[in-house]
Every structure is written in C-alpha cells, then in structure tokens.
Chain A
Amino acid sequence: MEGLFFNVNNGYIEGIVRGYRNSLLTGQHYSNLTQCETIDDVKLQLAPAYGDFLGALPPNPSTSALAGKMTDKLVAEFRYLLAQATGSTARFLEYLTYGYMIDNIALLITGTLHERDTRELLERCHPLGWFETLPVLCVATNIEELYNSVLIETPLAGYFKGSLSHQDLDELNIEIVRNTLYKNYLEDFYKFITTHSDLKGTPTQEVMAEILEFEADRRAINITLNSFGTELSKQERRKLYPEFGKLYPEGSLMLSRADDIEAVALAVSISADYKAFFDAVGLTQGGSGIGGMGGNSDGKSLEDLFYQKEMEMSKIVFTRQFTPAVVYAWMRLKEQEIRNITWISECIAQNQKERIGNFISVF
C-alpha cells in the first residue's frame, strides 16, 4: 500500500540515492587503492568517483584536505536531496542533520565557555550541521545568554529543554552535554519514525527502527566502556543511555551498574549480536583490561565490529524500496567510505602499509 503513492513525491530522491549508491567504492576499488604508493596515486584512483571535487587539490595533498574535499561532495549531494524533498521525507532528512548540529553546537559552546573568538569556530563546524541561526550563536558572549536567547531558537531546542538548564552548561563537561543531546536526539528520531503518520507501518519504520536501536545500543555500550576510569558517576552515566533499543531496559540497567568489562559483556549477552562481538574481540575472557580493548590479534576492535555491523545494515537497507531510509544508509556508507579513504591515505602517507587493510568495505 505504501508503495502506491510513494513515487509521486519521493521517487526522484530514491532514484538519485540509488544512483549515488552505485558510485560507492567497491572492494575492487579498495584493493586498487591499497596498492598506491603516493597520495597522488590515491587521488588518481578516486578520480572516477570524486573527480570534479578532487581536481582543485594541489599535488600530494594532505589527508585531511582529501577528506575535506570528499566531505564537500557528500554535503553537496545531500543538500541536493534535501532541496528536492518534501513532506515527511524532508523532515526525515532534516533529522539526519541534527546529529551534526549537535556536534557544531557542542563546539560553539566549548568556544564560548573559553571565550574564544566564535567566528573562527564557525569555520570548523560541519557543513551538514549548519542551520540558519548557527552564526547567531556567536553573538552570545556568556552561557546564560546563549541558552536563553539563542539555543531555544535552534532546531535542537527541544533536546535542551527538560534535560539541561543553563547552569548545567556551565558546569557540565561538554562531552556530557553532547551525549545528553545525542540521546534526546536519538529518542526523538525514534519517536518520529515510529509514530509519524506517514512513516508508521512502512518499511521506513522497520529498517530505521532497527538501525536506530543498534545506534542506541552502540552508544550505551561505548559510553559505558569509555567511562571506566573517569569521574563520570553511574547515575550520570545512566542518564546518557538512550531509552530504547534491544538492550533497553534490562541491559541498560545492567550497563549502568557495570564496573568492568565483564559486567558489560554480561549485560550485552541478552543480545546475540553484541555477545558475538564481545566474543570476537575477546573481551569476555577478561584480564585484558582497558588496554586490550583497542584491538586484538587480527586488528579488529569493538568499534570496528560495530562499524562493520552498521555498514552491513546500511547495505541491506538498499534491498528495501519506497523508503527514505536509503538516504540514511547512503550517508552512513559514504561517511564510512570517507573514513576508509582517509585511513588508506594515512597509511600510505605514513608508510605503515601493514595495517592498510583495516578498513571496512561491504560492497
């Protein structure tokens, strides 16, 4: 039924995104890239996919410049999609940008707290997280003003409301603010795709709910693992867990009480997927401590496995039709591709070829 009228409004966008998807690099491309000797070779290899954007780069560009140009392409393509979208799809696409907005706002708040020139901060903001009132944040000189007059005008106002007051902005570590916002954002997004009348009961709800649940669980696990050994208390930690996902509520409760990696492994064992990840990186045996979390013998860390899973889920999204979720999947895949290329070019630039295969390619 949802397929009947989908293409009237959104068929063009879906077509475009599927076209974009076809330009994603495949395993063949990656194996070509890993053979490169210099960044220029990488640039040459990327020419079919990124040609017009990389053309302006000087010979032997830095990897960050390369990544910047690739991000520019992603931004340009996404903006085009956003301009084409209408109705609930447009709303859906806006939701995608909120994550970047949170990063930008966290950046600006950090700058304001330390009384930096916020104008130069604007240049560092992620272009996808740009919104009209973002430059206005520069006007605010102190946190109270920022909160009362500026933040409530932003699309993120709802995420601040109820969970953060301006006193919090002063005292809380910006990282906690960011994660609180992100939690609220994920919950709101989840609510949007499960309750919005246009999306409820469509493939969008199915695939996005799965992806968002995974995202929520991943955040909860990461926050727990990363908070060991810091001054983050268990109550505060619990407030950062998104209140949905496969681990919610029992797993979240167990995570919030976890003191070490074994407890985390126990908490996530209610989900077979995560248990498999923990088994794969050997965290369940214990004894490896924090230092062992980074990676094991084959160089895969927990984060890598999460990324891998995310990419596979994103790939599967393309098997569904009549849904804007492909845009989300395409963005994630594209971001991973940029990370992969950055990693490969870093390895080439630093002449550390032995770990060059440590990227994630799903096509």
Chain B
Amino acid sequence: MSGAVGREAVFPTRQSLGLMKGKLKGAEIGHSLLKRKSEALTKRFRDITRRIDEAKRKMGRVMQIAAFSLAEVSYAVGGDIGYQVQESAKQARFRVRAKQENVSGVFLPHFESYTEDSINDFGLTGLGKGGQQVQRCRETYARAVETLVELASLQTAFVILDEVIKVVNRRVNAIEHVIIPRTENTIKYINSELDELDREEFYRLKKVSNKKQRDVAAADLEIQASREREAQKQLTGAADKETPDAPDVLGEQEDTDVIF
C-alpha cells in the first residue's frame, strides 16, 4: 500500500525534511483526534439507532390504537366528522419546538413537542353525540403525533450523524492510509537523498585527499631526487680530490693482530 501512495514533490533538502517531519507529527495528532471523534459519534449513532428502533415499535402500537380510536369515533358519531374538524381547527394545539444539540462538534436538531392547552378549536365537535369519543381520539392522536415528533427528531439526527460519521471516517482513513504513509515516504526519500549526497560528498572528499596525497608524494619524490642528484654531484667532486678508497675498518677483511 505504502508503495502506491508515492511521495510529495519536494526538493530533498534539510528544510523540507523539517517541514515534512512537522507535517507527519500534525497528521498523527489529527488522526488520533479524528479517530476519537469518530468513535464518539459512532457511539451516539448506535444509541440513536437503538432509540429509533424503540420509537418505531412504539409508533406502530400507538398508531394502531389511534386508528382504532378513530373507528370508535365513527361508530359513536355515526358519520364523518373529518371535514368539520378540519374546518374548525384554526390554530395548532400541538406544537413543535426545535433545538440544537452539540455532539462532538456536530449540531443535531432536536424537536420538542408541547401542547397549548388554551387552544381548543373543536371542543364542541360531537356535542350532540360522540363528543367524549372525539376528545379521547384527539388525545390518542396527540400521543401518536408526539411519538412521530420524537421519531422525526431521531431520524434527522440519524441522517446527519450518518453523513458526519462518513466524512470523519473518510478523513481518518485518508490520514491513516494516504497522508501519513506519503509523508513517511517523503521523509524516507529525503533521508535517502541526503544520505546519497553525503556519500557522494565523502567519496569526493576522499578522492580529493587521495589526489592530494599522491601529489604530495610525487612532489616529495621529486624533491628527494633533486636532492640526491645534488648530493651525487657534490660526492663526485670530493672523490676527485681526496683518497678515493678509505679502507673499511669494520669490514670483513682480517686485520693483522696488534700485539701489545
């Protein structure tokens, strides 16, 4: 994998090496932070999923009861009151307040339901017959809508969290599998290039010093040679003047014994 990510296009200098090292460090810190964020979000996400499951089951039950209470109303009133209720309802009795909740930097909307008890637009519906059923049906449906509001707030949070978790995970993975290896590669590359340069430099210096030694040696030889030549010259001149062959006193030849 790391082989495929390549490296960044930088000049292998010591400055960029420093930069890259800083970058690597930053990436590692960012990676661990994002990882933790993702974990926190996932935890929340699981919690929400569980609550959605519960809310959906509850909704199923509540809606069934509500639909049944509507059947009771139509039985008691003996007709359709839908239109009448529609027309006489002017203001919302059941209202929803939206709030924002901050979960590790993600704003989740949270809906809160409440009823305005002062508003009772169709309180007189079914006055002649079935009024109690109508009111009870309204209460049942209010409870059903409450569950729906709860579910809506959970679902919205679910969608938003899902999106955010995907983004965060993508970032975590990108940092883990692309940015960090690439930066490491770059550092390795810079290091190897710098080593290469070092070795070249060393070799060059060695060569230079070798050459210098050779030169010095050659110069020494020459000097010696010239000195020898001069000495030869002097030697030959002196030999001409004095006895050329002084007997070697330390030589092998037998001396005559001296007797005292």
Contact = CB atoms under 8 A, between A and B. Distances in A.
| A, B: real partners | yes
Contacts of B88: 110, 173-175
B43 interface: no
Interface residues of B, number: 28
Interface stretch (B14-22, B127-135, B181-189): B127-135
Contacts of B135: 290
Contacts of B130: 303
Interface in B116-173: 120, 123-133, 135-136
A106 to B, nearest CB: 8
A230 B84 contact: no
B142 to A, nearest CB: 14
Contacts of A124: 80, 83
A223 B128 CA distance: 5
Given A178-B128, A230-B124, A343 B75 contact: yes
A325 interface: no
A179 to B, nearest CB: 6
B132 A293 contact: yes
B129 A222 contact: yes
Interface string B74-91: 111011100110011000
Interface in A327-349: 335, 339, 342-343, 346-347
Interface string A165-186: 0000000011110110010000
Interface string A222-259: 11011101111000000010000000000000000000
B71 A346 contact: yes
Contacts of A218: 129
Interface centre among B127, B130, B133 (most CB of A within 10 A): B127
B131 A222 contact: yes
A107 B133 CA distance: 20
B90 to A, nearest CB: 9
Contact of B132 (A231, A290, A352): A290
A159 to B, nearest CB: 15
A234 B238 CA distance: 164
Interface string B55-98: 00000000010011001001110111001100110000000000
14 contacts: A114-B87, A116-B87, A174-B88, A176-B127, A178-B128, A222-B127, A222-B128, A225-B132, A227-B124, A229-B123, A232-B127, A303-B132, A342-B71, A346-B74
